[in-house]
Amino acid sequence: MWQRKRRLGVFAKGLERHIVFAVAAAACWSNIQFQGEKNVQSYSVQSLIAIVMVIHLSVGMAAVPAVGIVTARGSFTIDDSSIAGNATLFEGSHIQTGTISSELQLNNGARMRLAAESSGIVYRDRLVLEKGMGRVENAGSFQVEANSLRIHPARDAGAQISLRGAGAVEVAAIYGPVRVTSANGVLLANLQAGKTIDFTPEASASTPSAPTSITGCLENSDGKFLLTDEASLVRFELLGAGLDKEVGHRVQVSGTVTPVPDAMSQVQATGVKQLSKKCSNRSTAAAAAGAGAGAAGGGIIGAVGTAIATHAVIAGVVVAGVATGAAVAVVKTSSSSSSPSTSSSSNPISPSAP
């Protein structure tokens, strides 16, 4: 019934545009004929307006494109209409699950599972999560937006995203690497399989001067000062005075971060606090992991595991690792070697659930 209403609505709008299109075209032709009879070489203002209307209406006459389908073993709501079983998803469809989770299959190959009592807006290249929890697999270029964050699983990765209270977002890497960025492109975290991180934007997160505080081993590579944050495994280039004196030391750096397209973000350091004259084992491991994340998809990061249990503030977003007891446990299912299930205190979505 909902699908029929949607199609009828699109048909009615299309018919209305066709009628206006015909009227505008007739007016245009009439003016052209009139001008021809008068031997005038240029169109009148009315003719030009009519032509512009025709072009504009022609572009806008395309129907809202379908982007995928949604299925569930129960009912769900799309654009305020209750549906049972399955339905077609259109660009900008608003979906609200009921007491049963729903499976979204996008035309681009991405799969998204919305947990019970969750909602979001679906587009061809992203899902805007508004409430609850979702799990995305086979994402490709598909991403999930949650509050001010952008979650980008790798093509062969799976991620679970949960909205918490006070604007917090929990992201778990089910399998494969997952990147989390801010709305303006600042890389906030590199997650590997089994890693769960909480992100809590502060009030200043949307401002250019949002604070940053990161911890790690300060390196000098080809004249550049580099630091891989221990909590987020994000590698930064540091700018500022006095950094050369702290090379080889474990430090805490405060300042502001600037995203650099297709490169690591830069931090303008306003304060450097030495924590140790020697880099700890976990600082060294984090540095190696951060360096490997960009080149090899972060395969080395798995070796770091949960040994790093600190937190950071990056561009006004608090980044904190979740306690081991609530971390994601990667378990291979008997039906697939690449689609593990999860075990977490945050009540994850079961792959076998509808």
- Averaged in consecutive runs of 10 residues, what is the pLDDT profile of the chain (354 residues)? 47 45 47 46 51 48 79 93 94 96 95 96 96 94 94 94 92 95 92 94 80 95 94 95 94 93 90 89 56 42 41 94 49 37 46 40
94 bridge partner residues:
121
Residue 8, pLDDT score: 46
d(CA 190, CA 286): 11
CB 250 within 8 A of CB 266: no
Scanning the chain, the segments in alpha helix (DSSP H) are 2-37, 45-60, 281-296
Residue 342, pLDDT score: 43
Q: Taking Cα atoms as reference points, which of 261, 285, 265, 298 lies closest to residue 157?
A: 298
- In 111-248, beta strands by DSSP E: 111-114, 119-122, 126-131, 133-137, 143-146, 149-153, 158-163, 169-175, 178-182, 187-191, 196-201, 211-221, 224-228, 235-239
Residue 63, pLDDT score: 62
C-alpha distance from residue 298 to each of 178, 249, 320 (Å): 10, 24, 19
Residue 49, pLDDT score: 55
Residue 285, pLDDT score: 56
Q: How far is CA 241 from the centre of its chain?
A: 35
Q: Which DSSP symbol is given to 61?
A: T
SS3 261: coil
- For the record, the structure tokens of 37 come out as 């009879």
186 bridge partner residues:
none
39 bridge partner residues:
none
Domain spans of the chain, in order of start: 2-60, 66-176, 211-321
End-to-end Cα separation, the chain, in angstroms: 22
d(CA 167, CA 130): 11
Greatest distance between any 2 Cα atoms in the chain? 91
Residue 326, pLDDT score: 42
CB 349 within 8 A of CB 133: yes
Q: Which DSSP symbol is given to 306?
A: G
Is the domain defined by 211-321 classed in CATH 2.40.50?
yes
Residue 119, pLDDT score: 97
